[in-house]
Amino acid sequence: MTIEEVQNEIIDEFSMFEDWEERYQYMIDLGKTLPLIENRYKTEDNIIKGCQSKVWVHANMKDDKVNFTADSDAIITKGIIAILIRVFSNQHPKDIIEANTDFIDKIGLKEHLSPTRANGLVSMIKQLKLYAIAYQTQLN
């Protein structure tokens, strides 16, 4: 699936819920399905700066596609990073770099986060794109 197709799938899933209480619960459930980072990657180098909670992300590239694993010490944040990893994992670095993240506004996520969590969301996207830039540089 393309990044846009995954994003549209997420928009459809979130539109099934009546209120944000249900959407938060869904995000928590998504966090439980997160491809967990190995403990050896839970290092200071892999912590996303700018997040209120601790969020670790590790990336590797296989067959010109970037794969991400992550974890967080907070359940909502774990759900947020799970959504982002679902969108960006197993995609070509160039596609990740060029990806639009309007789907976040379409599901209403940013407006339902505290300012510090919203800043953390921006930091997560930025970090995932930085990994993609690094891998794209290797491919060039």
pLDDT digits (tens, 9 = 90+) for 101-135: 999 999 999 888 888 889 999 999 999 999 999 99
State the pTM of this model. 0.94
Contact present, 54 and 105 (Cβ < 8 Å): no
Q: Give the whole-angstrom CA distance, residue 91 versus residue 82.
A: 15
The verdict on whether 103 is a catalytic residue reads no
Exactly one of 51, 55, 59, 107 is catalytic; which is it? 51
Residue 88 has pLDDT above 90, yes or no: yes
With 90 as the cut, is the pLDDT of residue 51 above it? no
Q: In Å, what is the CA distance from 86 to each residue of 1, 5, 45, 116?
A: 11, 11, 22, 22
Contact 108, 39 (CB under 8 A): no
Q: Are 81 and 37 in contact (CB under 8 A)?
A: no
